[in-house]
Structures are given as C-alpha cells and as structure tokens.
Amino acid sequence: MQNKFESLELGQFIPLHYHHNMLNDSIRMKGFKEAIDLVVKPGAKVLEFGGGTGVQSFFAAQKAQKVYCVERNPELVDAARSLLAKNLNGNKVEVIQADAMHYLPPEPIDVVICEMLHTGLLREKQMPIINSFKKRYLEKFGGTLPVFVPEASIQAIQPIQQNFDFEGFYAPTILFQDPCSVQQRSKSLGNPEVFQLLSYAEPFSQTCYCDAEIIIAENGQFNALRLITKNILAVNMLTYSTVDWHTQYIIFPLATPLMVSKGDQISVRFSYQGGAALSALSDSLEVGLINKEVPVFQCALDTLSHSLNFQQGVVDKAGV
C-alpha cells in the first residue's frame, strides 16, 4: 500500500535548493573529496547514484576515465550537465536521467558513489538502492563488487535531557543539531549505544533494529533520544585511518519524560526498514526503566530524523 505522505518523503527526488545547501557544507564537501580522491585510481570507471549537481562525479572525474552520474530529478539533470560543462574534466561525466533502483552501467565499474543518506538511514533510499544494485550488478557482470563510497555506516542512540523551551513556548518536537557544534540545550545522560554496523559491500539486512540497555551516567529528566549516524566514507589502509562524515543529529522527545539517576538502567527498542518514513522509528519505539519495581514503557513522538560526532572527549557532542 502506498504511503499517502510518500510525495513528501525525500526518496530519490531532492529539490535543487537542498543541493545548494550541500555545496555550502564545507565539512561534507571536504570529506567526500578526500574519500573519492583516495579510492578512485587513475583510469577507473565510476558510477554515482543520486548525482545532484554533479559535484561528487566531478571529484571522481579528476582521476577516472569515465563517470556515469545517475540522477532522477530532471531539474538536477539539467543543472549537473550545465555545471559540469564549466569544470575541469566535466566532459568525462555522462549524466543520465534514470531511477537508481533500476539503472546498471553498460560496463563493469570500479567505484560506486551513493550518498542518499539521512540520519537513521530513514527517508532516503541508501539501503534499498545499494542492495538492489549489488544483486543486479553481480547477475550481469559477475566477479567482484566495486568499492562503495561511503563504505559503511554506524548507528547509535543516546538518552538526553533536552531543553524544549523556546522563548517561553514549550515545544517538545523533533529537532536537528549540527554534529560539529556544542549543544548547550542538550545534556547527555548516558553514552551513545551503537545498535548497527553496516558495511555496504557485505550482505546486510534491510531492517534497522535496536534492543539496547543503557546505563544512566547523570541525574536528570530523560525526555528525549538523540539518533546518531556516522558514515565511513573511505578507509585508508596505509595510515590505518578513516575518512568520516556525520549527518545531523536528530533529537526526538519522549511522550512521557522519566526522572533518572546515575546508575539507573534503561531499555530502548525499535525496528524499521531502511528508507522508511520518519514515523517508522517512533511508531515501534519502546523506552523504559528496567531496574525499577514496575517497568514503565511508553511510545515516543509521532515523527523523527538526524546524527553525531563519534570522537572521544567532546563535551556534549556525544562521543563514543
């Protein structure tokens, strides 16, 4: 059955003005440029899904022999062709208007770039598109799979106390946070708990599932969860390091806040399909205290969405 709100979901159809914001995100741009430069070898064949303005295909074209840039939105197809024509080696990029769920290149390729990412792997179709591509590519060409950018995603959840007061207006609603900024309105009540490790080159389930038990580290009012998604864009085997990029954090409130003390233990459970609507997580969410005489479970919020910086030692940037 088709979701009546499907037209409002990002999916593969993201307007041009979203991509202008992406171009202006220096952390995102530098991360992908570094990762693509690392994995694309001279003379390589590259495929990009969800090409947008064509910037990542441009990065690849500086070394690649050929880049197939697949974009579904006709407005973005025109924009990518126009912009690539103004840039060095843009002639190496063939921009193709097609559905990424069905497109295959005419020849074997070395690298796949696919950034259809949203926090929680919700909304955008990263998981189903890569899963579909892998099956169809191996059926057509056999052999081995290309390298993927990003190579992997790591997901975590964190209990927090969130200030939902806005100039006297109390609004416990979903919030987005910059993963590189200190969040003065958020108080971490426990460490982030990793619930999913996903390598795109390996077989993976289409389900994002969490059944976590988290120790509370600070006294406070547990009134929200922070959803975190860190993406490993590339792995540098020479330096044993990774090129990382974090989508925004998403903060979503609990329907009924819980007073917690240091040492308390909470449970967090949910399950949803990759690429599902934001409400898919909150619809299945159960949160409770598991070290009290009477366990209390409640469903949270009607909606959801975005991420974290997993580096250690960062004050309220949520480090792992």
β-strand pairing of 193-199 with 265-273:
unpaired
Chain centroid, CA 3 distance in Å: 22
Tokens, residue 102: 């069905």
Res 291: pLDDT:
65
> How far apart, in Å, are the Cα atoms of 310 and each of 19, 66, 111, 112, 285?
25, 35, 26, 25, 23
Domains and CATH numbers, the chain: 6-115 (3.40.50.150), 152-298 (2.70.160.11)
CA–CA separation, 26 and 180 (whole Å): 12
Res 15: pLDDT:
65
Res 21: pLDDT:
77
Instruction: Look at residues 54, 140, 31, 101 and name the one whose alpha carbon lies nearest to residue 46.
Output: 54
Res 52: pLDDT:
92
Which residues in 207-219 are b (16+ Cβ under 10 Å) and which e?
Answer: ebebebebebeee
CA–CA separation, 100 and 72 (whole Å): 7
Res 13: pLDDT:
58
- The tens-digit pLDDT sequence of the chain (320 residues) is 344 444 444 455 566 666 677 888 899 999 999 999 999 999 999 999 999 999 999 999 999 999 999 999 999 999 999 999 999 999 999 999 999 999 999 999 999 999 999 999 998 999 999 999 999 999 999 999 999 999 999 999 999 999 999 999 999 999 999 999 999 999 999 999 999 999 999 999 999 999 999 999 999 999 999 999 999 999 999 999 999 999 999 998 998 999 999 999 999 999 999 999 888 888 888 999 986 544 444 444 433 333 334 443 333 444 44
DSSP per-residue letters across 26-54: HHHHHHHHHHHHHH--TT-EEEEES-TTS
Q: What are the phi and psi torsion angles at 276 (to 5°)?
A: -70, 170
Q: How many CB atoms lie within 10 A of CB 128?
A: 18
How many CA atoms lie less than 13 Å away from 132 in the CB half-sphere?
14
Q: How many CB atoms lie within 10 A of CB 86?
A: 7
Res 17: pLDDT:
66
CA–CA separation, 280 and 302 (whole Å): 9
